[in-house]
Amino acid sequence: MRLLERNDDGKSCLTNNFSDHIPKYAILLHTLGADVEKVNFRDLIDGTGKSKYGYRRVQFCGEQVSSDGLQYF
């Protein structure tokens, strides 16, 4: 299982695979809008997609997770 992690510097990044111990995490995203504006797995790996509308949603979710006392989403 791979998750997004909210770092101390406020950035979100893709984690390594969790196989044995899966930490507490939140599910906050849902899909809205055109497919070309959605952030996909490849965008996260390549660091592309920051100009997509969906990336703002990822940032918002990271902020929400942090305010809820979690690190992963």
Burial class, 4, CB count within 10 angstroms (exposed 0-12 / middle 13-18 / buried 19+): buried
Q: Which of 20, 17, 19, 22 is nearest to 2 (CA)?
A: 17
| pLDDT tens-place string over residues 15-59 | 988 878 889 999 876 666 788 888 888 998 898 888 998 888 889
* pLDDT value of residue 25: 93
What are the beta bridge partners of residue 13?
5
Q: How far is 55 from 61, CA to CA, in rounded Å?
A: 10
Q: Which residues pair with 12 in a beta bridge?
A: 6
